[in-house]
Amino acid sequence: MPISKLSSDHRAIGSIIAFVAIIVLLLFNPLITVANSGSSQVTFSTPVNLSSDKGSANYPNVQALGSYVYVTWSEGGGGILFKASDNYGATWNVTRKISTGSGTARYPLMSDNGSNVYVVWAQQVSGDLQIFESTITDHGYGTISTRQITTGTEGFTVPVIASWGSDIVVGYGNGSVDDNSWAWYVFSTNAGSTWSKPSDYGLACPGSGPCPEPQAYMWGTNMFVVADNGFVYSANDGSTWNYINVNGNYCYVREPWIWGYGPNVYVSWYAPPDTTNCNGNGADIYVTHSNNDGKTWTNASILSTDGQINPMVWAYGNSAWIATVQSPGGSSSKIWAYTTTNGGATWSQAVLLSGSGQTSYPWTVSSSDGQNVFVGFSQKTSGGNWAVKVGYSSTGGGGAATAWTPNVVASVGLTGNSGVAQDTADAGIASSGTHCYAVWQYSTSGTSQIYFSST
């Protein structure tokens, strides 16, 4: 299954085990109640320091599958670290270092499938950034196999990953954003033991200027990689690839995101206001979808025209959700959510999920069941610090404000900066049913640690 989706093996965990896990949660994580203003009341546990060391912990990522929760983060020269929980985050195994070598490592991202956890990151090797992947067996408690999957002097960075069973696809960029850079992708069909040769087919820039920002998605044998200047698709585990034109004659594609469920696949992006053929609007949010595993796509349609950017996409069944940020970088910025319940044929009006004050970009939209939907972001408080928040719906979202509980604080009680807004996410969420798991980079008194909280 795709990242953070429940498989049939873990859906029916048993009422006794679930009950015991809930009791453990109550014993070890006192619940903090947040007043309900919409969909349903939401509670988050007291934040727990997962890194808890003297290093500088950065760039956390969280994924979940049934009762299993996984968190990874970077400690720079200290490498990529990893923790697993088998009881909904109530207790954690020992911290494990999964990277090899001494080069500075950063930007880890995970995908979990069955009993395997796949982690990808960028790391310095002899002065050049390379992409590494680690496969951890037995739900994060088993063996660790780490491999360098790029070579050369291009300076590869910002990796993304998606998986299905033992099949993995990884996208990444090369060079800095100021160089002639573009996106690449590789894939494995044996849980990361061997990898294909890197390819930029369908993703290379047409001329000068950067166009990386890759994202990846998998369902069954279907692999998808989308970037600022292209979109490629394989229906046969990477044996052959095809280029897909999803933006037609519309504006330039920026910050695209892709997700799906079953035969339904969605791609959303924004067009900067200074590009041509944008109807004279500010930044526009575009969306297109396929209902037949990516074989054909609808014409791109405009979802918003009021300066919203950086869409995040999630899907379950015939429903999908897109979260965006409007006017980032100032006190008037806002987080919005859109919902479709008919496979992308129509979308709801936007629902505001944030309170007042400057917001980050939305990091993640997550739902494991199509009913409990979470959107993660951070927001500057009246005291000048940043707080981690989620918007929540217990009814599958929708266009009515009453379908959502906005502005729920996850980093309750912390007085430093939690998940400060920046282009590289320093926070994230995952979910399993009614459980929402939030991780973030917390800075105070000159140190940076990774904190965790859950509903």
For residues 91 and 70, give the distance between their C-alpha atoms in angstroms, rounded to a whole number. Answer: 12
Which residues touch 319 (CB under 8 Å, ≥6 apart)?
A: 339, 340, 341, 367, 370, 396, 397
**15 found inside a domain:** yes
What pLDDT was estimated at residue 170? 98
Judge whether residue 119 has pLDDT over 80. yes
Which stretch of 29-38, 249-258, 312-321, 357-366 has the lowest confidence by average pLDDT? 29-38
**88 found inside a domain:** yes
Domain that holds residue 150: 8-454
CB 291 within 8 A of CB 318: no
For residues 337 and 353, give the distance between their C-alpha atoms in angstroms, rounded to a whole number. Answer: 7
Judge whether residue 402 has pLDDT over 70. yes
Judge whether residue 17 has pLDDT over 50. no
Query: pTM of the entire structure?
Result: 0.89
**1 found inside a domain:** no
**Average pLDDT in the 5-33 region?**
31
CATH number of the domain within which 264 lies: 2.130.10.120
172: Cα separation from own chain's centroid: 15
Judge whether residue 431 has pLDDT over 60. yes
Judge whether residue 22 has pLDDT over 80. no
CB 219 within 8 A of CB 164: yes
**3 found inside a domain:** no
**135 found inside a domain:** yes
> Could you tell me which residues are beta bridge partners of residue 387?
379
Per-residue pLDDT band at 254 (split at 50, 70, 90): confident
Would you state the structure tokens that stand for residue 364, as one six-digit string? 């993640």
Task: Return the residue matching tokens 């297109």.
Answer: 288
**257 found inside a domain:** yes
Judge whether residue 413 has pLDDT over 60. yes
Judge whether residue 14 has pLDDT over 80. no
**Average pLDDT in the 330-346 region?**
96
Judge whether residue 210 has pLDDT over 50. yes
Which residues touch 207 (CB under 8 Å, ≥6 apart)?
A: none
Which residues touch 429 (CB under 8 Å, ≥6 apart)?
A: 62, 363, 364, 366, 374, 376, 390, 436, 437, 438, 439
Please choose, from the candidates 33, 67, 65, 71, the residue with its C-alpha nearest in 3D space to the C-alpha of residue 52. 71
* Strands ordered across the beta sheet of 264-271: 254-261, 264-271, 284-290, 301-304
**148 found inside a domain:** yes
For residues 322 and 422, give the distance between their C-alpha atoms in angstroms, rounded to a whole number. Answer: 20
DSSP assignment of 331-386: TT-EEEEEEESSTTSS-PPPEE---SS-B----EEE-SSSSSEEEEEEEE-TTS-E
Judge whether residue 27 has pLDDT over 50. no
- Tally of domains within the chain: 1
65-92 confidence digits (pLDDT tens): 999 999 999 998 999 999 999 999 999 9
**184 found inside a domain:** yes
Judge whether residue 353 has pLDDT over 80. yes
Average pLDDT, the chain: 86
